[in-house]
Every structure is written in structure tokens, then in C-alpha cells.
């Protein structure tokens, strides 16, 4: 029975990585080629690269070998750090002064709406990363 639980966790981890990549890709596409959103676009790229690296590292692993690989993975550490980074606040403090300087209520509203949409996509990615991190933590404890 223990073996079955391990296999379920392996599958959940691999599915979780796919979900992280999907949400990060949505964030990437939404922010791509928009200069003011470059910071968030770069974060999406880094998350995609990290998930790709983890997927490559664990492709043929399962059970204890899988968790040993995840425990030492620099990409896993990056995802943990990405959750702690306050990238959305950095983005807001970068964008919102532009709106205030232009002194245009409609433009300020527009930039706020864009920032809100980016935040929704970013938070979806962070939620998937949290789930992935929780799966790893549960197994390593």
C-alpha cells in the first residue's frame, strides 16, 4: 500500500509541474512584448525554465530517487524563492507612478486594471507553486 501512495505522489508532482508551467505560460503570453510588464515577463520565463529543468531532472525517477533529486534541485529552490519574492508589489510600484505623473484618470484606471489582471495570473502561478512545494514538503518530512 505504501508503494501505491508513493506512485500517486509521483504523479501528483509531475502533474503539478505541468500546471505551474501552464499558468506561467499564460502569464508570459499576457506580458510578452509589453515594456512596462517586462519584469513580470522575465519572472514568468524564469518559472518556465525552472519547471522545465525540474521535469528534465526527474523524467525517469520515482519514489525516493525522485524526492532525493527534488531535495537538491536548484530549480526547486528557485520556485521556493519565487513564492517569497514580492514581484507584484515591485511591478505596482514601477507602473503606478507613471499613471500619477501623467495625471490622467482614465490612463490610471487602465494601468490599474492591467496590473490587476497580471496579479491574477501571477497569483494563479504562485498557487500552483505552493501546491508543488507542499507535496515535496509532505514527502520530505
Q: Number of folded domains in the chain?
A: 1
113, part of any domain? no
Nearest 5°: the CA angle 24, 30, 36 is: 110
96, part of any domain? no
User: In angstroms, rounded to a whole number, what is the distance separating the alpha carbons of residues 34 and 40?
Assistant: 10
Q: What per-residue confidence (pLDDT) applies to 1?
A: 35
Tell me if 79 sits within 8 A of 133, measured CB to CB.
yes
Kind and range of the H or E element at 69?
helix 63-72
What ranges make up the beta strands (E) of 5-98?
none
29, part of any domain? yes
Q: Could you read off the pLDDT tens digit of each residue along the chain, which spans 141 residues?
A: 343 445 557 788 889 999 999 999 999 999 999 999 999 999 999 999 999 999 998 888 777 788 888 888 999 999 999 998 889 999 988 887 877 777 778 888 888 899 999 999 999 999 999 999 988 877 666
Q: What per-residue confidence (pLDDT) applies to 4?
A: 41
Q: What per-residue confidence (pLDDT) applies to 128?
A: 96
131, part of any domain? yes
User: In angstroms, rounded to a whole number, what is the distance separating the alpha carbons of residues 92 and 122?
Assistant: 13
With CA atoms as reference, report the closest residue to 124 among 63, 10, 65, 40.
40
What ranges make up the beta strands (E) of the chain?
none
The parent domain of residue 25 ranges over 2-84+122-140
Q: What per-residue confidence (pLDDT) applies to 48?
A: 98
11, part of any domain? yes
Q: What per-residue confidence (pLDDT) applies to 137?
A: 79
94, part of any domain? no
Dihedral, CA of residue 7, residue 9, residue 13 and residue 15, to nearest 10: 70
* CATH number of the domain encompassing residue 8: 1.20.1440
Amino acid at each position: 500500500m505504501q508503494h501505491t501512495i508513493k506512485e500517486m505522489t509521483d504523479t501528483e508532482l509531475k502533474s503539478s509541474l505541468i500546471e505551474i508551467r501552464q499558468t506561467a505560460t499564460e502569464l508570459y503570453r499576457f506580458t510578452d512584448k509589453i515594456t512596462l510588464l517586462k519584469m513580470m515577463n522575465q519572472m514568468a520565463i524564469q518559472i518556465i525554465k525552472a519547471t522545465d529543468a525540474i521535469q528534465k531532472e526527474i523524467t525517469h525517477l520515482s519514489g525516493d530517487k525522485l524526492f532525493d533529486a527534488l531535495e537538491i534541485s536548484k530549480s526547486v529552490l528557485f520556485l521556493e524563492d519565487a513564492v517569497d519574492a514580492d514581484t507584484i508589489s515591485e511591478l505596482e510600484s514601477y507602473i503606478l507612478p507613471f499613471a500619477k505623473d501623467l495625471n490622467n484618470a482614465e490612463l490610471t484606471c487602465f494601468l490599474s486594471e492591467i496590473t490587476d489582471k497580471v496579479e491574477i495570473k501571477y497569483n494563479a502561478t504562485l498557487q500552483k507553486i505552493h501546491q508543488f512545494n507542499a507535496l515535496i514538503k509532505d514527502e520530505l518530512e
